[in-house]
A and B are shown apart, each in its own frame.
Chain A
Amino acid sequence: MLLLLLSTACEHSSTVVEMPAPADDSCGTWASVGHPFVLTWCTSCHSGRLTGADRYGAPASVNLDTLDEVRGHAEAISRRSLGPSADMPPRGGVSVSELEAVEAWLACGAPGEESAFPRAERDLDLLDATTLTGAIEADGGGRVLLLEEGGLPWLTQRFEVDNDGRGSLVGFSRYEAGVEVEAVEFEPPLQIYDEAVATASGDPVVTRSTPAGSDVATESWTVTREIDADPDPRFMDDAPSRVVAELDGEPALLWWFSATRMLVAQAQQELDGSWTTVLNTAPAAQRDGTPGFPLDEGGSWASRGTSLSVAP
């Protein structure tokens, strides 16, 4: 019975309707072919936004972030990626269909409209504070560059470059969830950077070539907003230990506690009457391969020029 019932299931009538014809997209565009291709296969090394080891050996002069740059290197892309002696990417991996599409796009003259890829909204992880990529316009002219302090994403230096390319550290800010919640302003600004070189992409690379002024204890600061003197309570499993320590030879409070998944310490120093977190130890210690030490035994370590010691 059920079989008989089912036997009627396949009846499906058809009609013919007019459908729009597909557009001729044999060339493709920057948006449809060129940009996806270079993002997938090239810019992880060949980007003007990358420096040093992060370029994996890509020459500094060969960047493929923009349509103009790709057009400028079109011949080399064809030769290095599409030809019989192709050696880019270094061990291949590009599908035949992708190669055919980008070859056709280049053969058409790399058509399309430039489209800017966004930059990071706030500044980046700068482990040695020697380069930066983020910048905003300063109120009084020039530019304020955002540098992270010691690789701490939530503690950021604001660094102003004047029109002569000279730089001054004008303040620190602490961020939570991308929102500035605390700040320290320097008056006068600290002249600790003295060279700013424009790159091909238009953003300066600042070299920390003069350490003068980096001894913050000798500067006169104006604290414009109150600083929270408590350690960040997030993720603490137990009450923190508070010990007196020295940071770069100056008195500091060291909060050492077991966070959820790693041992963390914050060092805080009194700056003109308020306390601010100036160092976060565990990530730096692990990054440097430097082990921590038991508090009751005391010890010291240094990271990127900052030393920390704890008395037993």
Chain B
Amino acid sequence: MPPPLALVALVLIACDEGKSGETAPSDSGDTTAVPALDARSSLVRASLDLLGRRPPPEALKTADEAAFEALIVGAESDPALGRRAAWMWNDALHQAAWRDDLARLSVLEPGIMRSLAWEPLAGIEAIVNEDRPMTELFSAASWPADPVVAELWGLPYTGENGGWGWTSYADGRPLAGLLSTNGLWMRHQADQTNFHRRRANMLTRVFLCADFFDRDVDLASDSTLGGTDVEEAVRSEASCVTCHAALDPIAGFLGGFSERSEPATLQQAGQYSPWLADWAAARSPPAWFGNPGADVGDLGRFMAADPRFPRCVAQRAYEGLTGGSFAEAPEREALVEAFVESGYRWDKLVGAVARTSGWRTPELRRLSVDQRVISTTAALGLAAGASGAWEGLDELLLEGDLRVLGGDSDDVDVLGRATTAAPAHLLAAEWLARVAVPEALDEDRLRAADKRLLLPANEATIDEGEIRAQLATLWARLLSAPVAADSAEIDRLYALWLAADPADPWGEVIEALLQHPMMGLH
């Protein structure tokens, strides 16, 4: 019987209310007293935020400030940090679930779609995991490719076991980190009428947190645009020049990459043309906010040196982890400074964010869909696949439908993220549970009895004590909260177990637990 979703939703929403006002930081005195999340909840939140998974139940037995610090420090060398960073950057880059342009190029194979889309994010993941400065986003002479990407573009494959390995495009394009990747420019298109301006604005929006569309320019006063050639107007009309004096020279860097109007095949879409780069540069001399350059290599150097870049990275990390406003964060300058002084290291930055008052407020926050799916994968003991989730969930996670239903972006049409929980999110939770739980139980049955994660050693047991003990174990594992076998929570869970289909009581109970509101909040 399906769960009473409306009731569930009401409870879920109620959890997100009534806590505001507890956390407003004081701005006086040498120290600021901030109501903060307790140590156990901080551990859970930090693990989910930095690594995308829940801490193991045994780690919560000694939850204190020392354990919290140890988790943050340990996260710096955990490969899950890079995957989590990639997903956080996807909130700005919108790569992961993008598919729409690929059908135009007759790319219908899911594996190719997935690899093309993930290419820019794979580099972010590698930069973070290899403790490289984030400026290598724009300066690295190589970028990861998996076997699919390597074969598509004729790149040497250097990875292992089908994973991503550093390599370089060898077609003469300037090498400037993700700025040189086909995956980025196939996702972020231009056409013959915007002359790469859309791409230029993407760069400033994502990496400077400066969107030209946010400029509140007076367009009405004396514009004669109606009677003027548009391309002439952008160089002569003051209303236009306010943006285009900066935007168009950035676009001038990007002419070598193909755009939507022309290529008809995937191979053509992935070719870099120095002649077209030259043509675009002649049309709009490349410059980065008044600093002339020659090609994408110069663009990368300018972006890496721009003082707005570390500020934007700090903003993305802070707002991505807290949901709060960076502009109102009392620690914002300290975060920027810490990031720069660390040598632009992402791990140091997110660790610093987790130590801010804004991060440790007790208000519950919604997990992103990637956090929820990946943490569920880990909690169920399923092996992580390409996306960080179990491979049976890869496709689901990388499809826009589940992500939108769960409150996130589909990377094409819905580009924002819900910051609060909503009833529809439970549908995504139910979807996730029904796909994952049967597989997880099958996997668990293959484990030795004393190594099982989900089922009791004797699955057929009807002994109430054994069942209650296992339910408490499940509660602690899936919800990251210790609970006694004779508690009210387990009373209710045991009642659910008794009412379940006798053929699959554990499956029904675990599915219900995966739809518990705290599975989607932290």
A interface residue numbers (CB < 8 A to B): 1-10, 12-23, 25, 31-32, 35-36, 39-40, 42-47, 49-50, 53-54, 56, 65, 89-93, 95, 97, 115, 117-125, 127, 133, 148, 151-154, 176-178, 232, 234-235, 259-262, 264, 280, 282-284, 286-287
Q: Tell whether, in the assembled complex, residue B333 and residue A23 are in contact, meaning their CB atoms are under 8 Å apart.
A: yes
Q: How far is the CA of A97 from the CA of B327 in the complex (A)?
A: 9
B125-183 with Cβ < 8 A to chain A: 171-175
The number of residue pairs between A and B whose CB atoms lie closer than 8 Å in the complex comes to 279
Kindly state the separation between the CA atoms of A128 and B360 in the bound complex, as whole angstroms. Answer: 59
Best-surrounded residue of B268, B298, B331 (most CB of chain A within 10 A)? B298
Q: Given A14-B37, A45-B245, A261-B258, check contact A178 B282 (CB 8 Å).
A: no
Which residues of B lie under 8 Å from residue A12 when comparing CB positions?
A: 37-38, 41, 362, 364
- Minimum CB–CB distance from A292 to chain B (whole Å) comes to 13
A14 in complex: contacting residue of B15, B35, B357, B493, CB < 8 Å: B35
- Write out, one digit per residue, whether chain B residues 343-384 have a CB within 8 A of any chain A CB (1) or not (0): 000000000000111001010100000000000000000000
How far is it, in angstroms, between the C-alpha of A154 and the C-alpha of B174 when the chains are bound? Answer: 11
| A contact residues around B238 at 8 Å (CB) | 90-91
Apart from A18-B33, A262-B276, list 6 A-B contacts with CB within 8 A: A3-B8, A12-B38, A44-B246, A54-B249, A122-B294, A286-B279
Given A9-B517, A21-B29, A44-B301 contact (CB < 8 Å)? no
Q: Which of A9, A97, A287 has the most CB of B within 10 A?
A: A9
**Distance between Cα atoms of A9 and B276 in the complex (Å):** 58
Contact of B291 with A280 in the complex, beta carbons under 8 Å: no
Shortest distance between the CB of A105 and any CB in chain B (Å):
13
Also in contact, A14 and B330, with CB within 8 A (given A8-B489, A234-B172): no
Binding site for A on B (CB under 8 A): 3-4, 7-8, 11-12, 14-15, 22, 25, 27, 29-39, 41, 65, 171-175, 210, 214-219, 221, 235, 238-239, 241-243, 245-246, 249, 258, 262-263, 268, 271, 273-279, 281-283, 285-287, 289-295, 297-298, 301-302, 305-308, 311, 327, 330-331, 333-334, 336, 355-357, 360, 362, 364, 488-489, 492-493, 495-496, 499, 512, 515-518, 521
Given contacts A3-B11, A5-B516, A120-B293, contact A260 B271 (CB under 8 A): yes
Closest to A7 in B: B11
Other-chain contact of B308, A14, A36, A53, A118 (Cβ < 8 Å) = A36
Residues of B close to A3: CB separation below 8 A: 4, 7-8, 11
Partner of A20, one of B11, B31, B292, B305: B31
* Among candidates B65, B214, B268, residue contacting A260 with C-beta atoms closer than 8 Å: B268
What is the minimal beta-carbon distance from A90 to any residue of chain B, in angstroms? 4
Q: Is the CB of B263 within 8 A of A260?
A: yes
Q: Which A residues lie within 8 Å of B14 (CB)?
A: 10
B277 to chain A minimum Cβ distance, whole angstroms, is 7
How far, in Å, is B72 (CB) from chain A's closest CB?
Answer: 15
**Pairs A-B, 4 closest by C-beta atoms:** A47-B290, A43-B290, A22-B330, A93-B215
Q: Which residues of A contact B287 (CB under 8 A)?
A: 44, 47, 49-50, 54
Q: List 20 A-B contacts (CB under 8 A).
A: A1-B496, A2-B496, A10-B11, A14-B22, A20-B31, A22-B333, A39-B307, A40-B246, A45-B245, A49-B290, A54-B292, A91-B218, A92-B218, A93-B218, A125-B285, A125-B286, A234-B172, A259-B273, A261-B258, A282-B279
In the complex, are the beta carbons of A118 and B305 less than 8 A apart? yes
Q: A93-B243, A118-B305, A178-B297 are in contact. Are A47 and B291 (CB under 8 A)?
A: yes
Q: Tell me the minimal C-beta distance from A162 to chain B in angstroms.
A: 25
B245 A56 Cβ-Cβ under 8 A: yes
Chain A residues near B516 (CB-CB < 8 A): 5-6, 9
Chain A minimum-CB-distance residue to B169 = A177
Q: Which residues of B contact A25 (CB under 8 A)?
A: 333
Known interface pairs A21-B30, A32-B336, A260-B263; A125-B281 also in contact (CB < 8 Å): yes
List of A residues within 8 angstroms of B495 by Cβ: 1
| Contact A9 to B15, CB < 8 A, known contacts A65-B290, A120-B292 | yes
CB pair B38–A2 under 8 Å, yes or no, is no
Structural contact, B38 and A13, CB atoms closer than 8 A: yes
- Given known pairs A1-B495, A91-B218, A115-B307, the reply for A44 and B289 (CB within 8 Å) is yes
- Among B282, B292, B295, B521, the residue within 8 A (CB) of A127 is B282
User: In the complex, are the beta carbons of B36 and A19 less than 8 A apart?
Assistant: yes
Complex interface: chain A residues within 8 A of B173 (CB) = 177
Contact A234 B171 (CB under 8 A): yes
The answer to whether A19 and B356 touch across the interface, beta carbons within 8 angstroms, is yes
In the complex, are the beta carbons of A178 and B174 less than 8 A apart? yes
- B221 and chain A: residue at smallest CB distance: A91
Structural contact, B334 and A22, CB atoms closer than 8 A: yes
CB < 8 Å neighbour of B293 from A4, A7, A124? A124
Measured CB to CB, the closest approach of chain B to A34, in angstroms, equals 9
User: Smallest Cβ distance from A254 to chain B, in angstroms?
Assistant: 15
CB-based contact B301/A118 at 8 Å: yes
Asked whether B273 lies within 8 Å of A6 as measured between CB atoms, the reply is: no
Q: Which one of A6, A25, A56, A259 has the greatest number of beta carbons of chain B within 10 Å?
A: A6
Contact B274 A154 (CB under 8 A): yes
**A235 to B11, Cβ gap below 8 A?**
no
Cα A52 to Cα B364 with chains together (Å): 56
Residue numbers in A under 8 Å from B279 (CB-CB): 262, 282-283, 286-287
